[in-house]
Amino acid sequence: MRILVTGAAGFIGAHLCQRLLQEGHSVVGIDNLNDYYSPKLKEDRLALLTPHPSFSFVKLDIAEAADLNKLFSDNSFTHVVNLAAQAGVRYSLQNPSAYIQSNIVGFANLLECCRHHSIKHLLYASSSSVYGLNTTMPFSTGHTVDHPVSLYAASKKSNELMAHSYSYLYGLPTTGLRFFTVYGPWGRPDMALYIFTKAILENRPIPVFNQGMLQRDFTYIDDIISGMAPLLDIPPTVDATWSAAAPNPAGSCCPYAIYNIGNNNAVQLIDFIRLLEDALGRKAEISYLPMQPGDVKATYADISPLNALTGFTPKTTLKDGLARFVAWYKEYHSI
């Protein structure tokens, strides 16, 4: 395959590029290297990829249609993975326009390019955030997701709807993956694990929202990549059992699919903190805070459809995953 990976300098993007290169594919990575968090971390991730002869990097923003069109015209991509997005739930309350530009305008540009260049399969990032006000656990792709509680979540739901329209109108095979709290080495500094680790090592209190009454389906990065990579070669087909009278949101009468990709295990946040304390060998000072706007109280993924398709089964325990993150963090920051 000749694969375009957008957001290649990001946490998931860099790990996926490594896996695809190991499998012998040719990869072009793009990223706008914005300063939402440290561009140096993004550049350091890229430094792991650029020595590979089958990898090339182009600094590019998918919201710039002309630049993206030229990239597609200059290359013969067979597959596309879209991981470029403005991330973060809380930041969407402060800077909503960034989410419209990257997650809506950028994704629309990408769909147009895929349509006009006969891409065999578009695999793209959605999010567990789309479940919004849903409280039925575990979250299933068979549930409706019409009540987002943040613009970030709404933008990801919009991506799913936009992808469906292109699958239906133009036969473009699209697969959306709803990620559940991905963590691990090279992770994002705006996520809880990075924030907690930094604060504990600096003897500062960690912020714990909703008085600690939160649950998350923490999923280790290697498990995420093991679930993603095989999907590229399995483009969705028409679901013969799909009915317009009783439509299943996870499939369609066109080549379109949605999957949860998570650990299938909801963990209490306080238990997560205790395991992190063990990995660091230090106790955390906790600052309990109220629920934050845009947050949800719990996430928990039903991964049975993805398991049935590919055999996807997460293998990394939270204890082991946290230990690997802490070891990376200390090495990266020379602690």
From the candidates 37, 91, 152, 300, give the one annotated as an active-site residue. 152
In the three-class reduction of DSSP (H, G, I as helix; E, B as strand; rest coil), residue 6 is classed as strand
Active site residue 152: yes
Q: Which helix (H) or strand (E) holds 259?
A: strand 256-261
In the three-class reduction of DSSP (H, G, I as helix; E, B as strand; rest coil), residue 99 is classed as helix
Is the backbone of residue 25 left (phi > 0), alpha (psi -120 to 50) or beta?
A: beta
163, 239, 256, 273, 294 from 212: Cα distances, Å: 36, 42, 38, 10, 16
Q: Which residues have a Cβ under 8 Å from the Cβ of 53 and sit 6 or more positions away?
A: none
* Residue of 151, 138, 166 whose CA lies nearest to 80: 166
DSSP 43: H
Q: Which residues have a Cβ under 8 Å from the Cβ of 308 and sit 6 or more positions away?
A: none
In the three-class reduction of DSSP (H, G, I as helix; E, B as strand; rest coil), residue 48 is classed as helix
Q: How far apart are the first and last CA of the chain?
A: 40
Distance of alpha carbon 111 from alpha carbon 105, whole angstroms: 10
**Phi and psi at residue 177, in whole multiples of 5°?**
-115, 120
Distance of alpha carbon 166 from alpha carbon 153, whole angstroms: 20
Per DSSP, the residues of 277-330 read HHHHTSPPPEEE-PPPTT--SB--B--HHHHHHH-------HHHHHHHHHHHHH
What is the set of active-site residues? 152
